[in-house]
Amino acid sequence: MEDEVIEEKEEPLQRTPDAEGSGEEQTPSPETELADLRDKYLRLYAEFENYKKRVQKDKEDLARYCNETILYEILPIMDNLEMALSHSAENVSEGLVKGVEITLREFRRVTEKFGLIPIEAEGKPFDPAVHHAMSQVETPNVEDKTVVEEYRKGYLFGDKVLRPSLVAVSKHPAKSEAGTTTTDITNESEED
């Protein structure tokens, strides 16, 4: 008996000729309503899936970069420890130098554990994405646009540049064309 009822509901509504001509709004068929509702459902489902993906990506980015601020604040401490080691004189006690070296090594180990990676600069080709050129140095024996000196170490945090390296970049010395030109002009004057 239930089968009969279902079959009756699935039949489209039939209109009488009087209803069509009277100007009343036509009631959409159940199939049309079902198709509209299905379309709305699919659109809403797709929007919700996109929302879930966006929230998941935001959550992953937050987890990946949550330590960025604290690591950036630690960098000057590491810089100062490195400067202390580079400026240590022979008359400073060996114990103090050894202590600073151990402290710096431990800082590097901990920061690398959280994704902080030093940028290799000296001797590498200049890359404006990770290096910030502070000066150019004329050097004939080094390839053009090569980092010849690092003023301040740069760091990557994951795949992002946290702080670029401050560097000096090589350039080939300018040829003294003026001297050659002067000699040529002088020789021509003597011939006249």
* Within-domain flag for 67: no
Query: Cβ neighbours of residue 118 under 8 Å, at least 6 residues apart?
Result: 108, 153, 154, 155, 156
pTM to 2 decimals?
Answer: 0.55
CB 164 within 8 A of CB 75: no
> pLDDT digit of tens for each residue in the chain (192 aa)?
444 444 444 445 555 444 444 555 678 888 898 999 999 999 999 999 999 999 999 888 887 777 788 888 888 888 888 888 877 766 667 777 888 888 888 888 888 888 888 999 898 999 999 999 999 988 888 888 889 999 999 999 888 898 999 999 998 877 654 444 333 433 444 444
Is residue 144, in this structure, part of any structural domain at all? yes
* Domain containing residue 143: CATH number: 2.30.22.10
Q: Which of 129, 165, 173 is nearest to 147 (CA)?
A: 165
- Provide the domain limits for residue 153: 117-175
Mapped onto helix, strand or coil, the DSSP state of residue 11 is coil
- Expressed in percent and rounded to 5, the helix, strand and coil fractions of the chain are 55, 15, 30
Number of structural domains, the chain? 1
